[in-house]
């Protein structure tokens, strides 16, 4: 009997669990531990609320969670409620699938001003993550600036630009939809420090910018290299650039009051304001021979009332786990941190790729674990290994007064969220841990 603790119930955690069940058959017991009482990580709190088809993958994870060999242990923070050393004592293997929940800092003056926030906070706010439910981003200015040229920047811009009707059937939380319905923001700028050829957008996300009810994408023709340079791009990027060139050819649409400007070759220098953001100072850049952004010396200042930095994420360090500060993830070799301790997904490779990228990552991890001898095999054969892990964790948490939640608790929360959804929406999320706890406790008594 092999016992596995997977820390984190997002895509990387669930794909690893699914693959481990396949690879190890009846001889595996898996506990999926999450610091929240709700599973699915990035699917629930990161994927845009108007991308419901991507969120539907959680049904596949449900099947894994309901497998009798799997147990969801919610509301337990590894590194605080239970240490890595304790888990390694209880389980044969511990897999960190904790993602990358923190924003990379911009590292420029003014970053601390009110109205400046990272995309993880902004996305967490409109997605109802308990950590960010109280964010209240300022929406009373005319101009918002989003820094970064990745899909997260586009997600943030699209949510700011959409009408209430366009968001009605998404699972955006009401605490975000209400203020967005009164938003004064009319000019949204997505700032890239390099050019259209170097942008990290994907086709679907760029295409959606051209299909918005009240917003038009704007791109400057002079930001593109000569058209024949596009032939050097790989197919996906070439298609993205084709769409951007089409936007550049269209110009503003007077019938649409909101603009989304894709401003290339601009690097943020500092954020200005007295207590809260009032403007951003930018340096115009150009590409050097290696394709890096270099300063031209020309600066400009753009008045704005909201700045969201969407420049990538970092993993949350855990005590006693070696961390690569430069790359913002656990120090590892192909997923191995030290004997018995592994990492997978963004915690292993950094914040790159789509949800689907985590599937092969999870499969590779499960196969590697299956091919490695059990650490506790000699002293805990058969069923007693399962007791050591699951019952051992229960005993340890009980002794500390910690009450974990299980998958049926989540199913109750899920049903409550579905029951209170506004018309057309799939759910209205519960956004505080207190309300989640009360609901679980109340239902349990009932």
One of 3, 127, 183, 200 touching ligand NAP (CB under 6 A): 200
In sequence order, the 6+-apart residues with CB closer than 8 A to the CB of 140 are 184, 305
Is the separation of the CB atoms in 383 and 1 below 8 Å?
yes
In sequence order, the 6+-apart residues with CB closer than 8 A to the CB of 13 are 6, 7, 32, 34, 41, 95, 97, 344, 345
Parallel, antiparallel or unpaired: strands 70-73 and 28-33: parallel
Shortest CA distance to 43 belongs to which of 71, 8, 5?
Answer: 8
311 or 440: CB nearest ligand NAP = 311
Residues in region 395-414 near ligand NAP by CB under 6 A: none
One of 35, 162, 189, 194 touching ligand NAP (CB under 6 A): 194
How far is it, in rounded angstroms, from Cα 27 to Cα 166?
48
123 or 385: CB nearest ligand NAP = 123
One of 70, 152, 188, 306 touching ligand NAP (CB under 6 A): 152
Is the separation of the CB atoms in 110 and 272 below 8 Å?
yes
Q: How far is CA 37 from CA 33, 41, 97, in A?
A: 10, 11, 16
Q: Considering the complex, what minimum distance in angstroms separates the CB of residue 423 from ligand NAP?
A: 26
How far is it, in rounded angstroms, from Cα 348 to Cα 97?
8
* Residue 191, SS3 per DSSP: strand
* Residue 433, SS3 per DSSP: helix
* Residue 179, SS3 per DSSP: helix
How far is it, in rounded angstroms, from Cα 325 to Cα 33?
25
149 or 405: CB nearest ligand NAP = 149
Q: Considering the complex, what minimum distance in angstroms separates the CB of residue 334 from ligand NAP?
A: 20
Report if residue 41 touches ligand NAP, rule: CB under 6 A. Answer: no
One of 232, 354, 384, 408 touching ligand NAP (CB under 6 A): 354
Report if residue 110 touches ligand NAP, rule: CB under 6 A. Answer: no
* Residue 102, SS3 per DSSP: strand
Residues in region 334-353 near ligand NAP by CB under 6 A: 351-353
Q: Considering the complex, what minimum distance in angstroms separates the CB of residue 308 from ligand NAP?
A: 11
Report if residue 223 touches ligand NAP, rule: CB under 6 A. Answer: no
One of 52, 198, 299, 387 touching ligand NAP (CB under 6 A): 198
Q: Considering the complex, what minimum distance in angstroms separates the CB of residue 353 from ligand NAP?
A: 5
One of 130, 312, 335, 340 touching ligand NAP (CB under 6 A): 312
Here's the x/- map for ligand NAP, 252-271, by CB under 6 A: it reads as ---------------x----
* Cα separation of the two ends of the chain: 36
| Binding-site ranges for ligand NAP (CB under 6 A) | 106, 147-153, 155, 192-194, 198, 200, 202, 205, 267, 293, 310-313, 351-354
């Amino acid at each position: 009997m092999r016992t596995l603790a997977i820390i984190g119930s997002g895509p990387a955690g669930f794909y690893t669990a699914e693959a481990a069940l396949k690879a190890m058959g009846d001889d595996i017991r898996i506990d999926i531990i999450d610091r929240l009482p709700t599973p699915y990580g990035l699917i629930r709190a990161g994927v845009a609320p108007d991308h419901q088809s991507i969120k539907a993958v959680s049904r596949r994870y449900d099947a894994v969670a309901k497998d009798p060999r799997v147990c969801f242990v919610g509301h337990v923070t590894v590194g605080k409620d239970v240490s890595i050393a304790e888990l390694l004592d209880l389980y044969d293997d511990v897999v960190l699938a904790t993602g990358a929940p923190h924003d990379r800092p911009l590292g420029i003056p003014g970053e601390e001003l009110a109205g400046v926030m990272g995309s993880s906070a902004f996305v967490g706010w409109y997605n109802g993550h308990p950590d960010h439910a109280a964010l209240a981003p300022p929406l009373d200015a005319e101009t918002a600036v989003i820094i970064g040229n990745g899909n997260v920047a586009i997600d943030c811009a699209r949510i700011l630009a959409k009408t209430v009707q366009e968001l009605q059937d998404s699972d955006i939380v009401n605490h975000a939809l209400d203020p967005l319905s009164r938003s004064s923001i009319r000019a949204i700028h997505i700032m890239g420090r390099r050019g259209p050829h170097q942008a990290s957008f994907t086709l679907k996300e760029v295409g959606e910018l051209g299909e918005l009810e009240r917003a038009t994408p704007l791109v400057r023709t002079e930001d593109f290299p000569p058209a024949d340079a596009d032939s050097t791009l790989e197919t996906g990027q070439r298609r993205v650039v084709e769409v951007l060139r089409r936007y550049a050819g269209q110009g503003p649409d007077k019938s649409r009051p909101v603009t989304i400007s894709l401003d290339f070759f601009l690097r943020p220098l500092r954020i200005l304001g007295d207590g809260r953001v009032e403007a951003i100072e930018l340096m115009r850049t150009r590409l050097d021979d290696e394709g890096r952004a270099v300063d031209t010396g020309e600066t400009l200042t753009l008045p704005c009332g909201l700045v969201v930095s969407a420049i990538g994420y970092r993993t949350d360090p855990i005590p006693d786990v070696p961390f690569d500060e430069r790359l913002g993830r656990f120090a590892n070799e192909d997923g191995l941190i030290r004997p018995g301790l592994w990492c997978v997904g963004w915690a292993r490779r950094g914040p790159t790729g789509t949800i689907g990228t985590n599937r092969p990552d999870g499969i590779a991890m499960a196969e590697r674990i299956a091919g490695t001898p059990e650490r506790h095999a000699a002293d805990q054969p058969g069923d007693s290994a399962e007791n050591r892990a699951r019952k051992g964790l229960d005993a340890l948490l009980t002794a500390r007064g910690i009450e974990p939640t299980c998958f049926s608790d989540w199913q109750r929360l899920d049903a409550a969220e579905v029951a209170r959804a506004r018309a057309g929406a799939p759910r209205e999320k519960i956004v505080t841990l207190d309300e989640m706890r009360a609901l679980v406790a109340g239902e349990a008594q009932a």
